[in-house]
Amino acid sequence: MIMDETIECPGCGLKLPDRHISSADRFNASGECLEMYYELTYWTLARQDCRFIHQHAVDAYEAQHGGGKTRPITAVFGLIGLYLALEKGYTGRQVQLAHMKIAFRRKDWPRLEPPARKAELTVMDVLTAETDEEKEEMLLKWAGSVWDIWEERQQWVREITEGTLFPSDT
Question: Could you say whether residue 114 binds Zn ion (CB under 5 A)?
Answer: no
4-43 footprint of Zn ion as x/- string (CB under 5 A) = -----x-xx-x--------------x---x----------
Question: Could you say whether residue 58 binds Zn ion (CB under 5 A)?
Answer: no
Rounded to a whole number of angstroms, the minimum distance from the CB of residue 55 to Zn ion is 19
Between 7 and 14, whose beta carbon lies closer to Zn ion?
14
Nearest to 92 by CA among 41, 33, 151: 41
Rounded to a whole number of angstroms, the minimum distance from the CB of residue 46 to Zn ion is 22
Question: Could you say whether residue 86 binds Zn ion (CB under 5 A)?
Answer: no
Are the C-beta atoms of residues 92 and 56 closer than 8 Å to each other? yes
Between 124 and 160, whose beta carbon lies closer to Zn ion?
124
Residue 37 vs residues 5, 125, 153: alpha-carbon distances, Å: 21, 11, 24
Between 40 and 73, whose beta carbon lies closer to Zn ion?
40
Phi, psi for residue 16 in degrees, rounded to 5: -135, 155
CB atoms within 10 A of CB 163: 13
Rounded to a whole number of angstroms, the minimum distance from the CB of residue 62 to Zn ion is 11
Crossing angle (nearest 10°) for helices 54-64 and 31-47: 160
